[in-house]
Amino acid sequence: MGLVRTPLRVAREAARRWVVQPLFRARVDPRLGERPWYDTPDAERRLAELKLDASDRARLEAWRRDGLMVLEGAIDEARLEALSAAVEAAWSGANPRVWVEHYTADEVLFDPLQPHWRSEPHKLLDLHLHSAAAGAVLAAPGLARWLHLLLGPRVDAFQSLVFERGTEQAMHRDTNFVGLTPPWQMVATWIALEDIEPGSGELEYYLGSNHLADYRFADGGHYLEPGAPVPDDYSDHWHGLAAELGLERRRFLPKRGDVLIWHAGLVHGGSPVTVADSTRRSLVTHFCPRGAVPAYAWDRRRRLTRRLDSGLRLTAFPRRRRRERLTG
């Protein structure tokens, strides 16, 4: 049955659109450019200003060229152990704030964690906000220093996922699915919580794909709303361009505590799981400079926030139970 548009309902909708939304709309900091500093023509000058030693400079030059950097052993054992304990505690049901993305044959569901989902395909959502141990991993000095070099003095971790097994996720570019304004003011980290073995569905990517022309969806834009069907030719777009330009396809086989930071434009995904029952424990987090606005935070009141000392703020949005059709 359709909703009847009574005068009261029409007035309420108008009040929400014209008064409430503008009043609480989170504003993008106008000092943020469309592109992060390292993608602008001014990057060479900014690099010189940073006065980095030769090895850090080489790392940033590789970042600009290839779209990623690997920080070996950036997370110390104490932080990793605390995070592993927090993940175990979450799975025992000890933390009622933790939610899980899980699946039926044709749907994606978002629900508060139930321990029996652990043995099924799933993602643990936003542990960075709900566990001090996960926040402490992101604030590890060897990682935080690079987040600040890339994104500036005030950085927000705005969503995270804990993976236990390979996702086999098709090749994609995050800006097409992770809603943020401006979309390219984002980096993501893949933190290995154990040594990753070949065949476990390790992360894979096209080296240098951060420079590839973007995919255009049917509406002409570069962003697909959550739950909208992914076009059939989406991943082939990336494979085709990568083949044309001869981009190397690589897999990430880190040791526990290693971190890969990827550029918003790096095309990546989960490789096939070829070793049955193998685990591939990792924490994936998306970051932006403070002043960029995640799609979920158009209304400032809806954002959950926890501040860490190092200029790092942890944010997420309050989850609601929902289900979406599974595509792709």
Ligand X SMILES: O=C(O)CCC(=O)C(=O)O
User: Residue number with the shortest CB distance to ligand X?
Assistant: 270
Nearer to ligand X, 141 or 198 (CB): 198
Question: Any contact of residue 284 with ligand X (CB under 6 A)?
Answer: yes
Q: Is 268 in the site for ligand X (CB under 6 A)?
A: yes
Stretch near ligand X under the rule CB under 6 A, chosen from 9-17, 25-33, 161-169, 294-302: 161-169
Using an 8 Å Cβ cutoff, are 189 and 287 in contact?
yes
How far is Cα 167 from Cα 250, in angstroms, rounded to an integer? Answer: 16
- Asked if residue 268 lies in contact with residue 170, where contact means CB atoms within 8 angstroms, the answer is no
Quick check: 137 and 191 in contact, CB under 8 A?
Answer: yes
Q: How does DSSP assign 38-97, residue by residue?
A: GGSTTHHHHHHHHT--HHHHHHHHHHHHHSEEEETT-S-HHHHHHHHHHHHHHHTT--TT
Q: Which of residues 301-320 bind ligand X (CB under 6 A)?
A: none
Which residues fall within 8 angstroms of residue 165, CB to CB, at 6 or more apart? Answer: 121, 200, 201, 273, 278, 279, 280
Residue 143 or 161: which CB sits closer to ligand X? 161
Q: From the list 84, 95, 169, 310, which residue makes contact with ligand X (rule: CB under 6 A)? A: 169
Q: How far is the CB of 161 from ligand X (least distance, A)?
A: 6
User: Taking a C-beta distance cutoff of 8 angstroms, is the pair 180, 293 a contact?
Assistant: yes
126, 159, 316 from 295: Cα distances, Å:
15, 11, 11
Binding status of residue 269 toward ligand X by CB under 6 A: yes
**Is position 242 an interface residue for ligand X (rule: CB under 6 A)?**
no
Which range binds ligand X by CB under 6 A, 14-22, 88-96, 163-171, 221-229?
Answer: 163-171
Q: Among residues 174, 238, 285, 292, which is the contact residue for ligand X, using CB under 6 A?
A: 174
Contact region with ligand X (CB under 6 A), list: 129-137, 139-147, 160-168, 234-242: 160-168
* 3-class SS of residue 31: coil
Tell me the per-residue interface mask from 184 to 223 with ligand X, x by CB under 6 A, - otherwise.
-------------------x--------------------
Catalog residues that contact ligand X under the rule CB under 6 A. 161, 163, 166-167, 169, 174, 203, 268-270, 284
